Copies of this chain bind each other. A is one copy, B any other.
């Protein structure tokens, strides 16, 4: 199924930092049909480097969606039954307003004059989209990693607008270690002279810094085990050490490839803004003195999923969410799925995830 990207424009969005962004655009794609009673809509939230193209074949460039194994006819998010929506986040570089967008005040890209955004801002823009699509209440909001943060934010910010929430491989707030890994990525970008304080849109982008940042990311997305299984100490095209600084090990080749690929599709300033939004994310901050108290307004049912080998978003962070919800007598199911794939598991290890999600959605849709 070929999918067209769609856009909606809004006059303005007031951000958590106090600035009003005007105008603001959101890019999104949809799969399946909204039913007459408008009760079958599911919002999929993408992770840090994702976009609106969650499933199917992109009409523009033929790419397969990033969660295509989970979204489609007969799949976990069954597009024969549900109307599935996925939008690019505010601050992104795949169609929604971000630092690479034109600032109407200057006629040039915002670059670093783009205001700092939060996960709360991303979700408020999504709410405007859902309102415009005429959907009063979402059947579900689901996502992994930063997508899970947005799902959690939906449950708290708009408790009457979402029937169920599926935060996967995520956290209620970034830990010091998670902030640290993001900060290293930002420093790698900002240390690249081609970054030019963000004003690189009319010249070459900070490709080297962005590639290094992405390499760090990829290490954190995999597990020690999965890296050993995938690469071990295998050498690239050689039977013995090269005694040089070219590529020796397959894992080096993989990381350099991933780094260089990323540069062709992602904007370095979006990297800065989106990682910053993740670091600021703390669903309780500014709302309540504890996570449990912040989750008090929640009305949605919850399915929380984590993966055993995910050391970037470890299970204890999911358990914090689950414990806080249980403490307020909320409807919450939790599964820690066995997987070797590390944080990437939510994207690739889908057999059990599919069963869980399908059952949870079906029971929510009925109820």
Contact = CB atoms under 8 A, between A and B. Distances in A.
Given A176-B228, A224-B177, A233-B282, A255 B186 contact: no
A177 B227 contact: yes
Interface string A227-266: 1101111000000010111001101100110010000000
A232 B184 contact: no
A75 interface: no
A249 B191 contact: no
A330 to B, nearest CB: 24
Report the 10 A-B pairs with minimum CB-CB distance, sorted nearest first.
Answer: A191-B208, A17-B243, A176-B227, A116-B243, A176-B231, A176-B251, A177-B224, A183-B252, A184-B215, A177-B227
A280 interface: yes
Interface centre among A175, A192, A212 (most CB of B within 10 A): A212
A188 interface: yes
Interface of A: 16-18, 112, 115-116, 173-177, 179-181, 183-184, 186-188, 190-193, 208-209, 211-212, 215-216, 218-219, 222, 224, 227-228, 230-233, 241, 243-245, 248-249, 251-252, 255-256, 259, 272, 276, 279-280, 282, 311, 314
B188 A188 contact: yes
Contacts of A208: 191
Interface centre among A116, A176, A183, A252 (most CB of B within 10 A): A176
A199 to B, nearest CB: 14
Nearest to A214: B184
18 contacts: A17-B241, A115-B243, A174-B233, A175-B228, A176-B227, A176-B230, A177-B224, A180-B218, A180-B227, A181-B219, A183-B252, A183-B256, A186-B245, A187-B215, A188-B188, A188-B212, A241-B280, A248-B280
A184 B184 CA distance: 11
Contacts of A244: 116
A276 B282 CA distance: 39
Question: Can you tell how many copies of this chain the complex includes?
Answer: 2
A218 to B, nearest CB: 8
Nearest to A217: B184
Contacts of A224: 175-177, 311, 314
B212 A249 contact: no
Given A243-B116, A249-B176, A187 B259 contact: yes
Given A183-B215, A243-B116, A276-B245, A232 B176 contact: yes
A112 to B, nearest CB: 8
A115 B241 CA distance: 13
A251 B211 contact: no
Contacts of A272: 245
B219 A177 contact: yes
A70 to B, nearest CB: 27
Nearest to A249: B179
Contact of A219 (B173, B180, B252): B180
Contacts of A231: 176
B191 A193 contact: no
Given A16-B243, A116-B243, 9 more contacts: A17-B241, A112-B245, A116-B245, A175-B233, A176-B231, A179-B251, A187-B259, A191-B192, A191-B209
A280 to B, nearest CB: 5
B232 A183 contact: no
Contacts of A282: 233
A18 B243 CA distance: 10
